[in-house]
């Protein structure tokens, strides 16, 4: 009987000990209840890692997934990623080096938020429905807003409206009455707008009267200067360098594309290069280099054109220039997002039209050394409109899939 009782006691002790171990494990496990992380409140660390490509293409055909068996150096760079909004934005820009200004796409309200997602403040209460583009001045105190409005011509459809606004007073507003966005409307015949990255000026194409005029003005639309006139005007416009305005023919895989440079001071128009189907391009702030993509031998390729050397070479990353931005501190450094897996298609049309979406990684490339580094892994975003802070510490960009704004810390 004593031996039987002893066995029972030992068995019970083992059971109790096992139960304690299981309980301790369950208590220590992190709980995930499926709740979405609070916007801006949960700055997560991006999955780190990547390889220095040394200018080599990925060993996988058409891919940018970072897997290159020939790479010899591992680069582990922490990149903090923060979602700044959980609603679509029509545009964003930096305010100083530590804050971001953005406009909500649905309401047209302007907000200011820290690059780490904290201290969010609504600056304006003027409602502008269906905004799709907002271009900020260098200091962030002015902007050009483009939005859709129901057609007033008696036909069903939408008209594109353009509004040049002053926002400087919004930073000092102390009441709702002072949070009104003030400005001036441009003619309905305006088809494209670009903002200078160096001065408080805008450039716009005005297609009235059967001709297309190119006009430079202030954000109050005063001191207008017509710098060219053409009988056609199907261009995308940008203002990459102080005196260079870039005119790119509307890209399509079925049509040869051309890039022109327009000097804002002299009004001279010159062809940079072209004759490439599906041509898209991004000009450097110095105006001496162009990253471009287009259809070559039936497949999309990304190249770089050095205007000083008059040479074209492979960029080393297959992507669209719309996913890139130039460094503010190093003229030979560029940051790009690129699809992890790039399949051939009718580009850029299928991407523009939403038929094709991508899961991007982020890269940096030094054009002098040729060194390429992964600075963030893919996380489901199709990156557009990247911008970099003046100190090269932060990137902001929009996810094309849902319009949400993100911040990526580089240092």
Concatenate the DSSP letters of all residues of 196-242 into one string: -SSSSEEEEEE-GGGSEEEEEEETTS-S-EEEEEES---EEEE--SS
Cα–Cα dist 101/124, whole Å: 11
pLDDT at 327 over 60: yes
> Would you state the pLDDT for residue 232?
82
- Could you give the 3-state DSSP secondary structure of residue 65? coil
Mean pLDDT confidence for 25-45 = 31
Q: Which of 208-212, 218-222, 262-266, 276-280 has the lowest mean pLDDT?
A: 208-212
> Would you state the pLDDT for residue 276?
96
pLDDT at 390 over 50: yes
pLDDT at 312 over 90: yes
> Would you state the pLDDT for residue 41?
31
- Could you give the 3-state DSSP secondary structure of residue 169? helix
pLDDT at 220 over 60: yes
pLDDT at 46 over 90: no
pLDDT at 386 over 50: yes
Cα–Cα dist 370/207, whole Å: 43
> Would you state the pLDDT for residue 185?
97
Cα–Cα dist 304/307, whole Å: 10
> Would you state the pLDDT for residue 62?
53
pLDDT at 189 over 50: yes
Beta bridge partners of 345: none
- Could you give the 3-state DSSP secondary structure of residue 395? strand
Whole-number mean pLDDT of the chain? Answer: 84
> Would you state the pLDDT for residue 154?
60
Cα–Cα dist 172/214, whole Å: 35
Concatenate the DSSP letters of all residues of 27-52 into one string: HHSPP---PPPPTTT--EEPPP--B-
pLDDT in tens, 226-270: 999 998 889 999 999 999 999 999 999 999 999 999 999 999 999
pLDDT in tens, 55-68: 333 333 356 765 44
Mean pLDDT confidence for 348-373 = 95
Q: Which two tokens stand for residue 386?
A: 């990247």
């Amino acid at each position: 009987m004593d031996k039987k009782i002893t066995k029972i006691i030992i068995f019970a002790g083992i059971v109790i000990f096992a139960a304690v171990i299981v309980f301790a494990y369950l208590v220590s496990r992190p709980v995930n209840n499926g709740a979405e992380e609070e916007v801006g409140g949960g700055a997560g660390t991006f999955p780190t890692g990547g390889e220095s490509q040394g200018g080599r293409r990925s060993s996988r055909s058409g891919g940018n997934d970072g897997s290159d068996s020939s790479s010899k150096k591992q680069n582990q760079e922490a990149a903090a990623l923060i979602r700044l909004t959980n609603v679509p934005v029509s545009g964003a820009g930096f305010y100083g080096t530590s804050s971001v200004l953005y406009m909500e796409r649905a309401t047209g309200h302007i907000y200011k938020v820290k690059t780490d997602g904290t201290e969010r403040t609504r600056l304006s209460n003027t409602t502008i429905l269906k905004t799709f583009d907002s271009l900020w001045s260098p200091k962030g105190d002015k902007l050009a807003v483009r939005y859709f409005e129901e057609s007033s011509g008696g036909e069903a459809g939408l008209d594109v409206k353009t509004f040049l606004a002053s926002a400087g007073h919004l930073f000092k507003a102390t009441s709702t009455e002072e949070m009104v966005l003030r400005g001036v409307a441009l003619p309905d015949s305006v088809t494209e707008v670009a903002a200078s990255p160096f001065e408080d000026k805008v450039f716009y194409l005005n297609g009235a009267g059967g001709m297309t005029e190119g006009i430079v003005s202030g954000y109050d639309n005063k001191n207008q200067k017509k710098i060219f006139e053409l009988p056609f005007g199907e261009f995308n416009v940008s203002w990459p360098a102080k005196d260079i305005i870039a005119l790119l023919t509307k890209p399509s895989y079925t049509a040869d594309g051309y890039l022109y440079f327009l000097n804002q001071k002299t009004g001279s128009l010159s062809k940079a290069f072209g004759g490439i189907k599906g041509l898209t391009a991004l000009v450097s702030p110095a105006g001496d280099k162009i990253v471009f993509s287009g259809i070559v031998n039936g497949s999309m390729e990304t190249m770089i054109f050095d205007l000083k050397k008059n040479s074209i070479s492979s960029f080393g990353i297959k992507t669209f220039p719309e996913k890139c931005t130039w460094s503010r501190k190093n003229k030979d450094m560029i940051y790009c997002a690129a699809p992890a897996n790039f399949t051939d298609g009718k580009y850029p049309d299928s991407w523009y039209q939403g038929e094709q979406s991508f899961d991007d990684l982020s890269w940096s490339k030094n054009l002098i050394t040729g060194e390429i580094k992964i600075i963030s892994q893919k996380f489901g975003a199709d990156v557009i409109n990247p911008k970099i802070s003046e100190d090269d510490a932060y990137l902001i960009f929009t996810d094309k899939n849902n319009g949400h704004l993100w911040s990526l810390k580089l240092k």
